[in-house]
Every structure is written in C-alpha cells, then in structure tokens.
Amino acid sequence: MTNAQNTAAAAAPRYVIGVDVGTGSARAGLFDLGGNMLAAAKQDIDLFREAGAIVEQSSAQIWDAVCATVRSVVETAAVDPADIIGLGFDATCSLVVMGEGGRPLPVGPSDEPSRDIIVWMDHRAVAQAERINELGHDVLRYVGGRISPEMETPKLLWLKENRRHVFDAAWQFFDLADFLTWRATGDLSRSTCTVTCKWTYVAHERRWEPSYFAKIGLEELADEGFARIGTDIVDPGTPLGSGLTEAAAQAMGLKAGTAVAAGMIDAHAGGVGTVGIGGKPQDNLAYVFGTSSCTMTSTAEPVFVPGVWGPYYSAMVPGMWLNEGGQSAAGAAIDQLLSFHPAAADAAAKASQLKIPLPVLIADAAMSGSDSASAVVRLATGLHVVPEFLGNRAPFADPNARAVIAGLDMERDFDSLVALYIAGLCGIGYGLRQIIDTQAANGAEIQQVVISGGAGQHHLVRQLLADACGKPVVGTASEEPVLLGSAILGAVAAGAFQHIPAAMESLSAEAQRYEPAPETAALHADRYQAFKDLQLMARRIRDI
C-alpha cells in the first residue's frame, strides 16, 4: 500500500456490536470506539411457564432474535458491515441443552424440543440445591457457602433425576452466553465468567473439581473429562474460532471472520460497562437493576462473604476477585407488587396511552407532588414492603423466602398505588443496603454504587436507592452500559484495546451522581430496621 492508502486505512471508521439477551428480550447496540452508541434494536422473546416453578425458553427463537437485532442496528446506523470489527455477547445464566449436531432437546414436561432452555429464574431444582448444600463440598466456599437453584449443577442434577433420557442424549450443556458464541463461531470454548459463576469451575486454579461432581451425583460429567460442559475455558474478550462463520455472518448481515469475543453473563457485562469509572473498580459496586438485580464487587484478594456468591477469580475484571449478590426479583418484584392494587389496571391503561412503563408513570406522579425526590419516602409512611417474592438471593441464600407487605389499608385510589410503589422501591433499596453492610463486615467495602439496567433509569429511583442504601448512586454516561460491556468484549477481541481494563477506563464515565440526603437518613435507618424485623418474622412463621 502507498502512504496515502495506509493513512486512509488507518482513518477508516471502526465499530463494534454488543448483544444482550435478557429474560424477556434480545437487544443489540452498535458503538464506535469512543463508546458512543449509534443504534440499538430490541426483539421480545417468549417465556414458557409450567407448574412447579418451571420457566423455559427456546434457543432457536433467541438466536433468530439476536440475528434480527444485529441486522437492524447495522441498517439503522447505515454503516458498512466491513467496518464492524468485533461482536460481543452477554446473556442470562440460563441452561441450554443440545443434542448431537445442535439438535434442541426438551427440558421439561411439555416434551416440546424447541423448549430447550431452563431459564435462570426457574426454581425446579430447589430440592437438588438443598441436597447439594447438605452434602457440602469445598467448592461451595466459592458460591457464598450455598449453591443456588439458579445455578447450573442443581439443574443438571434435576435433569438427570427427572428426565434421564434427555440428560443422556445431551451432546453439550451450555450457559446461554456460551451457546451464542458457539452458534456464531462453531467454537465450543466456555467463558471463565459463566463456568466460574454458575458451574463451580475453580478459575484461580484453572480446573474443574471432579470430586464435587462425583459427590452430588453427576459423576458422568467428570468421567467424560467434562467434555459436555467445557474443556477449553477462556477469559471474556478472547477471540473465538475464526470469527463469525459464513452462516452466522449471513444471518446477521455481517462479514464472515468478524471477531467474536468469549462472552459474559448479562449482569457482569453491565459491570464491565460501569465499574471502570475513576479507574478503581474496587471502589464501585456495580448494581444492575432489571427484572432481577445483581450486585458485583471487585477486590484485589479473595473475600468470603456468607450468602454472597463468590469470590470468583477473573469472572468480571481480569485479575480481580468478584463477589456477586442481588435479588432474584427486583423490577419483576415491583411489577408483582403493583399488580395487586385495585388502581393498577386504570393506571396501566393510562401508561400505555402515554407509551411509558407503569412504574415511570407512578414515579413521575410521586415527584410532581413532593418538594424533592428524597421527600417522596414520606408518602409511604406506615407502609413497609420486603419484596422477596422469589426468595432471597443475598445475603441469606434462601430461595424459600417470601415477600411481606405490612400496613395496607382500605384505600383503592391512585395515591395509595403511589405509596405502595414507594414502599416497594424502598424495600429494594434496603435489600441493597443489607448486601453492602454484609460485604463490608467481611472485608469488601465499597464507596459508591454504579447503576445500570432498565428499572434503574428514573431520577426518583436512583435518589431513593441512594437514600435507602446510604451510598452515592452514580449514573453512567452510557445509557446502555450492559450493551457497552458486551461491545467492550468485542472491541478487545478485535484488538482495538489491549485488554478489558483499558477499554473499561477509556469508555466508562460518570454522568450523574445522587448523594444520600441527610434530612431523611434517620427515617431510612428506622425503615431499614423495620425491613429486617419483617424479614426475621417471615422466616419464623413461614412454615406455620
């Protein structure tokens, strides 16, 4: 090439795409290498529910949705596919079961092969998780002392015990993010993030622990050399295979060979897109507030926190340890709570007309009648909510915990719906505070909360969370930090950045800061104590 050609090539625009598969939708975002999102697209995906806490999805439908959203962002941004250099995936920690050649296998009683995913929130394996915890094993130290039914080994054990023909016929068991990278590249490598956080891979020693699988009754997986759950474990951001296969590239409207990164769990991608603020990940608790909530805390050395998952080595920030908490229902808990109220149907109809979510309508109304966002808490005087509709993920690791609502009256109007919403939001904040306090007591103290996720966008939500948890809440410059986190993986795989921390520091920036309000600190301290009292009482009486 001539000097002029080299200069033109160096100046050519370059882009990356981040793909996020959440519980209810697949999304894609197209970014430049300054972290600016140029286009986004979303497509809903189905949840199939059965009795017994069964929740399933279709990997084929999810793949089709992923390809459609990628095509959409390329078209919307009007960029040349040849200028897209990398692709990163994140997804929920759901279990995908594939037969030979990628044939979907039915994971539940419907016997429908297309329903080949046990969704993260599926709690069919509670009994298996309890049995594993009773047996005990040293690897459980790295999941907060207790395995969760949301993790994959209890679900695999359930499959073996309840659908043995499916378990035996399975060619590969994938975490959803690893399934997506396999579909994109044909590479069976698993991400350190997925297998460490959800499958008991011992990342700091780069190995599986055969005695754990033998002890809990999954000895086949160890005897096979772990061929069905991953023999090649690589760090997130590692380029896979030869990039996009011809078939995947055609389905996405991209170029074959485009770099594809080893992926991450969705919440952890949100962490990558947020905790680089200030260049000190250890100061920042990543709080992903969506359907569920996840808290992610990075430390230089391992910190063992009872009831909080981890410590996981290099599962989010390379070279650092990760503690992961949160709740199984957060945004979903608010939706459930509001659905009980007599005024909810009319309010939802109004929200639909305005084309905004119901919680946004309610938050706007609460703000309009108060002097400040912090003062809104007084609307919930006498009303308290422990929103544990789907158990307590952290710090109690108690899937059998249930919600408590105290202080309801006979009011049926919109104002009482607002009060219930504020009480529920405070309950979410007190659950966050409980995790922060528990981690700090065990040596993992943070300075601020960096928020992401669709349920955490409103100004009122962020201020009330700051007041309730007692820490500053920081909003990022990127409106889509989860998609940015996945795009960062793609950028690293393509060689645009040397490693993930460099990309994080370069592309993450603070946009808003919400300080805890001193004038409501005492009130929130009293409400937090009431929250803990109600939690304790619920545990005492739930078996009566």
- Give one DSSP letter per residue of 279-330, joined into a string: G-GGGEEEEEESSSEEEEEEESS----TTSEEEEETSSSTTSEEEEEEES-S
Domain(s) labelled CATH 3.30.420.40 in the chain stretch across 8-264
Determine the Cα–Cα distance for residues 458 and 148; give it in Å rounded to an integer: 31
Judge whether 84 and 19 are in contact, CB under 8 Å.
Answer: no
CATH of domain 8-264: 3.30.420.40
Per-residue pLDDT in tens (0 to 9) along the chain, 544 residues:
444 434 334 467 899 999 999 999 999 999 999 999 999 999 999 999 998 789 999 999 999 999 999 999 999 999 999 999 999 999 999 999 999 999 999 999 999 999 999 999 999 999 999 999 999 999 999 988 899 999 999 999 999 999 999 999 999 999 999 999 999 999 999 999 999 999 999 999 999 999 999 999 999 999 999 999 999 999 999 999 999 999 999 999 999 999 999 999 999 999 999 998 877 899 999 999 988 899 999 999 999 998 899 999 999 998 999 999 999 899 999 999 999 999 999 999 999 999 999 999 999 999 998 889 999 999 999 999 999 999 999 999 898 999 999 999 999 999 999 999 999 999 999 999 999 999 999 999 999 999 988 889 999 999 999 999 999 999 998 889 999 999 999 999 999 999 999 999 888 889 999 999 999 999 999 999 999 999 999 999 998 9
* Cα separation values, 205 from 313, 339, 503, Å: 9, 47, 26
Domain(s) labelled CATH 1.20.58.2240 in the chain stretch across 331-436+519-541
The per-residue pLDDT for 11 is 60
Q: Is 213 helix (H, G, I), strand (E, B) or coil?
A: helix
pTM for the model:
0.86
Determine the Cα–Cα distance for residues 451 and 274; give it in Å rounded to an integer: 8
DSSP 408-471: --S--SHHHHHHHHHHHHHHHHHHHHHHHHHHHHTT---SEEEEESGGG-SHHHHHHHHHHHTS
**Does domain 331-436+519-541 match CATH 1.20.58.2240?**
yes
Between vectors from CA 212 to CA 206 and to CA 217, what angle results, nearest 5°? Answer: 135
Longest dimension (CA), the chain: 82
Neighbouring C-beta atoms of residue 45, cutoff 10 Å: 18
Residue 243, φ and ψ in degrees, nearest 5? 85, -160
Cα–Cα nearest to 397, from 146, 187, 170, 183: 146
Q: Can you give the length of the chain in residues?
A: 544
Alpha-carbon dihedral angle through residues 451, 452, 455, 459, given to the nearest 10 degrees? 50
User: Strand 309-313 and strand 293-299: pairing?
Assistant: unpaired
At position 166, the amino acid (one-letter code) is V
Determine the Cα–Cα distance for residues 269 and 485; give it in Å rounded to an integer: 5
